[in-house]
Chain A
Amino acid sequence: MKSKTNIFVLMLLAVITCIILFPVYTVLLNSFKTRSEMLVSFLAFPKEFTFDNYIITIQKLKYVSRFFNTLIVTVLSVTGIVFFSALAGYKIARTQSRLSKVLYLLFTLSMLIPFHSIMISLTQISKIVGVRNSLWGLSIINIGLGVNLAIFLFTGFSKSIPKELEEAAAIDGCNEFQVFRYIAMPLLKPIAATVAIIDVLWIWNDLLLPLLMLTSSKDFTLVLGINQFFGLYNSDWTLALAGLILTSIPAIMFYLVFQKYIIKGIASGAVKE
């Protein structure tokens, strides 16, 4: 009985998957066509593959520099979020006082605030503080916005790791920071990986905050780059399509490499009970 249903199920699933992948496939296919060939048909297979679109687009999109801009912002932001939140979350979990409870609430309650509710005033404050129009400025704003969820996760996780080692290390003469650095940090690694992955995905693909903060084209991230590029070349589909593929590749590669952790993170974050 089971094998019969399987064929039907398999076909249904195959059709759904094909529909889901169809847009990416079509964009990929056409990105290798010459303009004249594209005018004939968008669905036909290219008669000859050309890489010209990619070569031109890599230059016009300033792909390499924008890739590194995105990388800089992502690395700075994620390192900051993970390190600062590990420090705070771990200590909040280890301290039993009114202050630690207040801090925990203060840090985590803001998870209820949508970014769009604070974007107007955040833009104003960033102008006043002088962090607009720079990659490091964008990074520290990302840290400020990202610590709430990270501290929530670090605090929860720290409560589950045993205290005995830390107490032994303290008796042996380690100071508070050394205990954190050499005893707690290695134990916090699993949750640090989860936090890092969540934040890489968010920051790498973020549009709105960079759109509000970066006005000079030389600072643009990949997402801002494609946004501007598409506005300029949206009648020239040969270049636009290559640009879309180039912009999507890094995130898809990241997914394929860290797939196991990403899937586990999503599943465990939600299905905890």
Chain B
Amino acid sequence: MKLHKTKTLVLFSLPAFILYFVFMVLPAISAFIYSFTDWNALYKDFSFVGFDNYVEAFFDRNFIGTLSLSFRYVITMVLIQNALGLTIAVLIDSMKRQSIWRTLVFIPNMISLITSAFIWKFIYTKVFPEISAITGIGIFGESWLGDATLAFWAVTIVSVWVGVGYTMIIYLAALQNVPVVLKEAAIIDGASNLQTFINITYAITINVFLTLNGSFKAFDQFLGLTGGGPGRSTQVITLNIYNEAFAGNFRFGYGNAKAVILFLIVLIITLIQFRVMRTENS
């Protein structure tokens, strides 16, 4: 009986497992192993070099710059996207016809990131100068994709534009999870609504970590809007890894070491997330 159970479990899991093993587990293991080699796609031979790639990454000015840019971008995203998402959710929550507002605000989330990047490229390069000419507001007349600081904001705006609808929906759900009776009671009492408060804190935690995780993996909008430029000013970690391996350098060993570093960063964030949510739940 027990053997039979094991057999069916194996049989039922096998199709998923084979593809999962070949395309997820194997790449993960080999990324780890190759991160300790000097493998370059241009040469046939490679050898193990210990922690050399990691040491190089640590002293690689470009990579450190890339990392600090990623952190800057992630923190900016967390602050802006959550502030805006919560604001819009609160506004919508007080409306009578909520679904129409929700639908409109959520639309950008359905457009692929690369398409969104191109839509905004048009806005930044063609429409902004015209707005500047009409209104005389100087900021619209600047070169949004040519200036390092503005390019950072240009990409951030696109990311928020796409992501804010998702954040808003989670906040809206948290607000609406509160039974109406309680809400009215709270208004009558003039007391602070404990349930709303608990729901909102929980939603904030979720959204902050969702944005944290998602923003570290941001890639498409940077590729489509600035390609990492001007110079290297908007080259985030994902783009840096991509360039290391596929655009010119072909240093797979070093690229994989950076890939493992990205994994470790995301892992640490997730572990913190689990800890925070556990304490919040208890």
Q: Footprint of B on A, CB under 8 Å?
A: 5-6, 9-10, 12-13, 16-17, 20-24, 26-27, 30, 41-43, 80, 84-85, 87-88, 90-92, 95, 97, 99-100, 103, 106-107, 110, 112-126, 129, 140-141, 143-145, 147-148, 151, 176, 180, 201, 204-205, 207-208, 212, 223, 226-227, 230, 234, 237, 240-241, 244, 247-248, 251-252, 254-256, 259, 263, 266-268, 270-271, 273
Q: Footprint of A on B, CB under 8 Å?
A: 2, 5-6, 8-10, 12-13, 15-17, 19-28, 30-31, 34, 88, 91-92, 94-95, 101-108, 110-115, 118-123, 126-127, 130-131, 134, 161, 164, 166, 169-170, 172-174, 177, 199, 202-203, 206-207, 210, 216-217, 219-220, 223-224, 237-238, 241-242, 245-246, 252, 255-256, 259-260, 262-263, 266-267, 270, 281
The 8 Å CB contact of B95, one of A13, A26, A180, is A13
- Residue pairs across A and B with Cβ atoms less than 8 A apart, 26 shown, are A13-B88, A13-B101, A26-B127, A42-B127, A88-B16, A91-B12, A95-B5, A97-B5, A112-B267, A114-B266, A117-B259, A119-B241, A120-B34, A121-B28, A122-B23, A125-B27, A176-B8, A205-B111, A207-B223, A248-B110, A256-B103, A263-B169, A266-B170, A267-B172, A268-B173, A273-B281
Are A84 and B15 in contact (CB-based, < 8 A)?
yes
* Chain A residues positioned under 8 Å from B95 (CB to CB): 9-10, 13
* Chain A residues positioned under 8 Å from B130 (CB to CB): 41-43
Given contacts A112-B270, A113-B263, A208-B220, contact A9 B91 (CB under 8 A): yes
Is the contact region of chain A dominated by helix, strand, or loop, or is it mixed? helix
Q: Which residue of A lies closest to B103 (CB)?
A: A259
Are B270 and A84 in contact (CB-based, < 8 A)?
no
* Chain A residues positioned under 8 Å from B245 (CB to CB): 119-120, 123
Q: How many A-B residue pairs have CB under 8 A?
A: 268
Complex-state Cα separation, A151 to B220, whole angstroms: 27
Given contacts A16-B88, A207-B113, A237-B122, 10 further A-B contacts (CB under 8 A): A12-B91, A24-B111, A43-B127, A110-B25, A117-B28, A141-B19, A148-B20, A240-B122, A241-B122, A270-B210
Complex-state Cα separation, A26 to B126, whole angstroms: 11
Complex-state Cα separation, A106 to B263, whole angstroms: 17
Are B30 and A254 in contact (CB-based, < 8 A)?
no
Are A205 and B113 in contact (CB-based, < 8 A)?
yes
Are B110 and A254 in contact (CB-based, < 8 A)?
yes
